[in-house]
Structure 1
Amino acid sequence: MSAPHVAIVHNNVDRNSAIGTLALWAVQVGLEAGWRVTVVARDLDPDLRAEVDWRRLYVPPRLHAVQWAAAEPTVRRALAGSTHDVLHVYQPQLTGFADTWHVSYLSRSALDHDALGDEPGPRARLGRAQARIVARLEDAYLRRTGSGAQVLWCSEFIREEYLRLYGAPARGAILYDPAMDVDALAPQPHPVPSRAPVIGFLGGLDPRKGLRDLIPAVAGVPDARLVIAGPKSAGFADDRLADRLTALGWATDLTDFWGQIDVLAMPSRFEPFGMAATEAAIRGIPVLLSAQVGCAQLLVKDGAAVVWDGTPATFIDQLSALSEREIQSPGFPTRVADTLDPRRLGDQLVAHWTAAAASRR
C-alpha cells in the first residue's frame, strides 16, 4: 500500500513569515508521519527541497489584490497531474477545492478591528485600499461558496471572528499554532525588575502590531527601555524615548532580542494567534497583550500573560503587578510548552488529514 500523499500550499514555506513558518511545520509533520509531500510555493526552505515534490508557484510581483485573485488559477495550474489525497491550504480563496484550511488570518476581521492604521502617504493609502478590496473578495467568496474544507482555526479568538462573519462551517476545529522552539524552554519564569524594565516588541512598523500605542506607554515608565525588532524597524527612533529605544531591525535569529528583554508587549489591533507571545512565554518571559491577540486566553489561563487595554496608566499598573509576581505563576513556561507541543499538535493535524483522505474515498 502506497504512503498517503498531502499537498501543502502557501506563497512561502520558510521562516520569513509567521504563516510561512506554520506551513514549513506542516511539511515537516507530513514527512515525519511517513506521508508523501508536495509543496506548492514560490519560496521553499532549502533544507526541504530534496525531500518533497516542489511545484513552483507563480505569484504576481505587485498588488495584493491581484495576488489574491490570481491564487486559485495559479495553484490549480501548479497542481496539474498531482495525485495527492489531501490538499492543505492557508488561503480562503483555495477552500472551494481544498480539504483542510488552517485559518491564520481573516481580512474582514482585520478591518473591523481597525488594524490598517491611518499612516499618511500614497503607499500607505494604496495598501489600505488593497486590503479593503481583498476583504470584499474574501467576504463574497466565503459567503457564496463557503469553505468546503475542514476549517482549522488557530485560536478561539479567530473561531469567534469566523463564526461572527460567516457562520458555522460544515466541519471546524481548533488547531493551535505550535511552539517552534521548545528547546528554549525555561524551567521557571524570569523575574521582572521593579526598576528599569526592558520591554520587547516584535512586529516592526506594521500599524496592525500597535507600536504607536506602546511608545507613549513605555515613555511614561521611568527608566524603562524599549527594544523593537521586525520588518522596517532598523534605524527607527522616537523623541519620546530617545536613547531608551533600541531598534534591531529584521532578523530570523532572535537570540539577542530574547536575551535583552524582561517583558514582551504585544498590543496588536488584530493578531489571529500571536506566535511571538507563546515563544516568549516558553522562555519564561511574561507578556502584556491586547484582547485581540488570539493566544490571549491560553496565556492568561496558564499564568503567562495579562491583557492590557492600551492606555499608559494601566501599562504602568500591569508592569508593577508583573514585577511583584501577582500575574506570573510558577511553571508557566512548561504549561505553555505542553499545550503547544509541536508533536502533539502535529498528531492532531495528521488525524485531520487522515479523516479528510478517508472522506474522499
Structure 2
Amino acid sequence: MRVLLVSWEYPPVVVGGLGRHVHHLATALAAAGHEVVVLARRPTGTDGSTHPTEAVVADGVLVVAVAEDPAHFAFGVDMIEWTLALGHAMVRAGLALSKPGVGEGWVPDVVHAHDWLVAHPAIALAEFFDVPLVTTFHATEAGRHSGWVSGRVNRQVHSIEWWLAQESDAVITCSASMDDEVARLFAPPGPMHVVRNGIDTSTWTFRPHGPTGRAPALLYVGRLEYEKGVQDLIAALPRLRRTHPGTTLTIVGDGTQRDHLIELARAHRVRRSVAFAGSADHDGVLAHLHRADVLVLPSRYEPFGIIALEGAAAGIPLVASTAGGLGEAVTDGVTGRSFAPGDVAGLATAVRRSLDEPERTRALVDAARERLTADFAWSTVARETATILAAAKRRVRTPYARPHVVERPLPERDSS
C-alpha cells in the first residue's frame, strides 16, 4: 500500500509518546514493504526562512517536514489558530505530493491521521485523493480533563475530535479502555479496532535490578500535566520516607505543572528529596531507568502509557495506577504492582511491596519483559495496522449537524 501518515510530531520534533509511536509505526510499515510518506512539521517557533519545508528519506520513510506559515501564532496561547495554520501548510504540502517533479505523482491509497491536531489536513487530503481516512485516537480532550470540557478551547478541541471521528472510515485506539471512551464520546460510524502500542526491545538494554545498599530511588518519566498524577506521587513520598528513610524521587519530563509540582514538594517538605531532571532523550531516559529502583507511573488518565513498556524492557520494577491502558499493560502481581488512580495510600503501599519483596519483584520484572516480546513487537503492531488500513473503505458522506457538547461529566446512573 501507499500510506500517508499525518502527525503533528515526528522525530526530531517529539512532544510525547505520539511522536515515537508514529515513527516506529512508519518504519515498521516501510520494512514490511509498504510505501510510507509522513506529513509532519518543523520545530515550534521556527519559520520558513530558517527552517523551510524539507523532504528527507529516513529508514525507508519519506518524511515531509512542513515549515510554519508566516502568521505569528503561539501554540500555548493561540492553540486553535496555530492548529489551523499548521493544517493549511500540511494541506499544501500533501497536495504537492501528486505533482510531477515534486512528489513525482505520488498518490496515497489511504490517509492515516494521528489525533485531532491534524484533523483538517487529514480530512481534506483524504477527500481530495478520494481514499479512506483511518484515525488513531491517542487520547481525548474529555479524558484529559476527567470528563470536563467546560472551557472555550476545551469545547473546540472536543468538537474537532468529534468531527474527525465522524469523518473517519475506521478508528484505531491503543487500549480497550480508550476504545470504550471514544465509542462513548463520539460514536464513530466506521468500524473501531484496538491496536496496542509497540516497543523495540533492542533499543532498551535489559539490566536486572538488585539490592544496592543505598536508600531507595524512585523514578517518574513523562509529561508534567495534572492527568499524569505526579502530584499524588509527591504526596506519597513523605509516607515512604517514614518507612524507608532517605527515599528520593527523580522526575524526568516537562510540562505546564512543573512550577506547581515544585511548590507541592516544598509544601510536603520533601523538596530536597525530589530532583526535577527536565526532558531527556532516549539514552538519558535509559540511564535513569537503569539507575532507579522503581518506576512509578501514577496517572489519573492514561490511554496507554508506553513508558511502562520501556521500563519493563530496561528491567526496572513497575508500579502503576490502573488508569486506562496502564491497567492493561501492568497487571498487579503479574507484571508489576498496581493501585487505584488518585489513591495516595495505595500508591505508597504498592511501592513498599516492590521494595520489601525483592525476590517476588524480580519475578515480576522477568514476566513483564517476557510479555513485551510476545505482545508488543512493532512488527506485530504494523501488521495489525496494515490489515485495518487495507480493509478500510471510503464511505459515502452525508451532512451532519453540530455536535452536542456536554460540558461536565454526566452523573452516575442510579442503580437502585
Given the two structures, how large is their TM-score scaled by the length of structure 1? 0.81
Aligned with residue 109 of structure 1, among 143, 167, 184? 143
C-alpha separation between the residues in 2 aligned to 1:231 and 1:263? Answer: 20
User: Structure 1 stretch 71-80 or stretch 7-16: which is displaced more?
Assistant: 71-80
Give the distance between the partners of 2:136 and 2:368, measured in 1 at CA.
26
| Structure 1 partner of 2:4 | 7
Alignment of 1:1-361 (within 5 A): 4-14=1-11, 16-17=14-15, 18-43=17-42, 48=58, 51-52=61-62, 54=64, 56=66, 58=68, 61-62=74-75, 63-70=78-85, 72-80=87-95, 81=98, 82-92=106-116, 93-94=119-120, 96=123, 97=126, 99-113=133-147, 130-139=153-162, 141-142=163-164, 146-167=166-187, 169-184=189-204, 186=206, 190-191=209-210, 196-222=215-241, 223-231=246-254, 238-239=265-266, 240-252=269-281, 253=283, 254-300=285-331, 303-309=334-340, 310-323=342-355, 324=357, 329=364, 330-356=366-392
Is the contact made by 2:145 and 2:227 (CA closer than 8 Å) also made in structure 1? no
Aligned 8 A contact 2:135 2:168 in 1: no
Task: Give the drift of 1:91.
Answer: 2.5
What do the CA deviations read for 1:71-120 (whole angstroms, capped 9, x no partner)? 5544333221351111111024256435221221211222235699xxxx
Change in 2 beyond 3 A, CA 1:224/1:74: same
Letter in 2 for 1:10: S
Which structure would you say has the larger Rg?
2
After superposition, the CA RMSD in angstroms is 3.4
Unpaired runs of 5+ residues, structure 1, are 117-127
What stretches of structure 1 move > 6 A for 4+ residues in a row? 44-47, 192-195, 357-360
Q: Are the counterparts in 2 of residues 156 and 294 from structure 1 also a CA contact under 8 Å? A: yes
Q: Contact between 1:39 and 1:54, CA under 8 Å: does it hold in 2?
A: yes
Give how far 1:67 is off: 3.3
- Residue identity matched to 2:235: P
Residues 211, 340 of structure 1: CA spacing in aligned structure 2 closer, same or farther, 3 A cutoff? same
Q: Number of matched residues?
A: 342
Query: In 1, Cα distance between the equivalents of 2:147 and 2:323?
Result: 8
Q: Distance in 2 between matches of 1:349 and 1:283?
A: 26
Contact 1:153 1:174 in 2 (8 A): yes
Percent of aligned positions that are identical: 20
CA contact (8 A) 2:209 2:293 kept: yes
Quote how far apart the aligned CAs of 1:349 are: 1.9
Structure 2 counterpart SS, 1:331 = helix
Q: 1:51 to 1:273 in 2, by over 3 A?
A: closer
- Given that 1:65 and 1:131 are in contact with CA atoms closer than 8 Å, whether structure 2 keeps it comes out as no
Residue pair 2:5, 2:113 contacting (<8 A) in 1 also: yes
State how far apart, in whole Å, the 1-side matches of 2:211 and 2:136 are: 35
Structure 1: how far apart are the matches of 2:60 and 2:331?
A: 41
Contact 1:302 1:332 in 2 (8 A): no
In the alignment, the residues of structure 1 paired with residue 169 and residue 215 of structure 2 have an alpha-carbon distance, to the nearest angstrom, of 49
